[in-house]
Structure 1
Amino acid sequence: MIVVKRFLLTLMLAAAPLAPVHAVQPDEVLADPGLEARARAISRDLRCPVCQGESIDDSNAPISRDLRLVVRERIMAGDTDAQVIDFVVSRYGEFVLFNPKAEGANLILWLAGPSVFLLGAAGAFVYIRRRGQPIAPDVALSADEQARLRDLIGK
């Protein structure tokens, strides 16, 4: 029995780094599980202004805690998810969105990746098509050239 307990403890310790880490503190959690799930979903889509690579749900930065509290306050006030996100964006700009809206100047960023891919694919297509074509048109060799060719290849 002790062997099984040790094995399970070892397994749990080995799997601990794989578990998701959330910075949400117990005092931030809403009592209603449905509202808390909405808050978590919104928090995963908002970027920490300090950490930049983490969502506010995962970040331990003080600004992320403040943003998590604002999200929960807005939800408790009856705002929809879109209204909560618009409120945060109005204060911090579109930088806080992991997936900015595809409109205005952001449209250039959304279209840049597919455009570069299509240009690269077209360039590769043209390169491959040209590579298979002969460089010069087929011209019959003169008698001297044919004799020299036979000497070179050994016939």
Structure 2
Amino acid sequence: MIRSVLALLLTLLALPGAVPALGQDTMPPAPYAYTQLEDPALEAEASALMHTLRCLKCQSQSIADSDAPMAGDMRHQVRSRILAGESPDQIRAWLVARYGDYVSYEPTVSATTWPLFAIPLLVILIGAGVLLRRLGRRRGETGAEAGE
């Protein structure tokens, strides 16, 4: 009897946490999540932008290719803002301000992203320096042997 009362009590305590999670799956997608714009030029502009934005859930797909609900919401935002007259650069800036630099496949140089640009250049310069030193030593050794 005590076990059944405890099981009932635990079930009742778990229900409030499960109900909101179930409600999120039944929400309809945003209007422009899966519907293209009527104007082909505006849709092309929106599509080009969507291919340069990362889905934050999938992480390896653009929002144009992802089926995640969040990507659908982001596609809706892009298309709605294009219809409202915003430029792709303005929309990208808004999304970066909202989600961070990670949302963009085309990062810009900023206080947080400069290492992405500086470190590869630094590695190339160090590699070139090491290579030049080794080649210089070999030439010196070859020249010394020829002089003997």
Q: TM-score surpassing 0.5? A: yes
Task: Give secondary structure in 2 for the equivalent of 1:103.
Answer: coil
Deviation at 1:119, TM superposition (A): 0.9
Amino acid at match of 2:114: L
Deviation at 1:75, TM superposition (A): 0.7
Structure 1 or 2, whichever has the larger Rg, is: 1
Amino acid at match of 2:52: D
- 1:104-149 superposed Cα distances (whole Å, 9 cap, x missing partner): 12112111112101110110110111123239x78xx9xxxxxxxx
Whether the 8 Å contact between 2:34 and 2:72 is mirrored in structure 1 is no
Task: Give secondary structure in 1 for the equivalent of 2:105.
Answer: coil
Corresponding residue for residue 106 of structure 1: 113
Whether the 8 Å contact between 2:54 and 2:61 is mirrored in structure 1 is yes
Among candidates 42, 45, 53, match of residue 49 of structure 2 = 42
Whether the 8 Å contact between 2:33 and 2:75 is mirrored in structure 1 is no
Task: Give secondary structure in 1 for the equivalent of 2:50.
Answer: helix
Deviation at 1:27, TM superposition (A): 4.3
- The yes-or-no answer on 1:88 pairing with 2:95 is yes
Amino acid at match of 2:108: K
Amino acid at match of 2:139: G
Corresponding residue for residue 122 of structure 1: 129
The TM-score with structure 1 as length reference comes to 0.67
Deviation at 1:90, TM superposition (A): 1.7
Amino acid at match of 1:45: T
Corresponding residue for residue 65 of structure 1: 72
Give the unaligned 5+ runs of structure 1: 1-24, 142-155
Separation in 2 of the partners of 1:118 and 1:134? Answer: 24
List structure 1 runs of 4+ shifted beyond 6 angstroms.
none
- 1:47-76 superposed Cα distances (whole Å, 9 cap, x missing partner): 010111111111111111110000001111
Identity over the aligned pairs, expressed in percent? 36
Give the unaligned 5+ runs of structure 2: 1-31
RMSD: 2.1
Deviation at 1:86, TM superposition (A): 1.2
Separation in 2 of the partners of 1:76 and 1:134? Answer: 70
1:137-148 counterparts in 2 under 5 A?
A: none
With a CA cutoff of 8 Å and minimum separation of 6, indicate the structure with the bigger relative contact order: 2
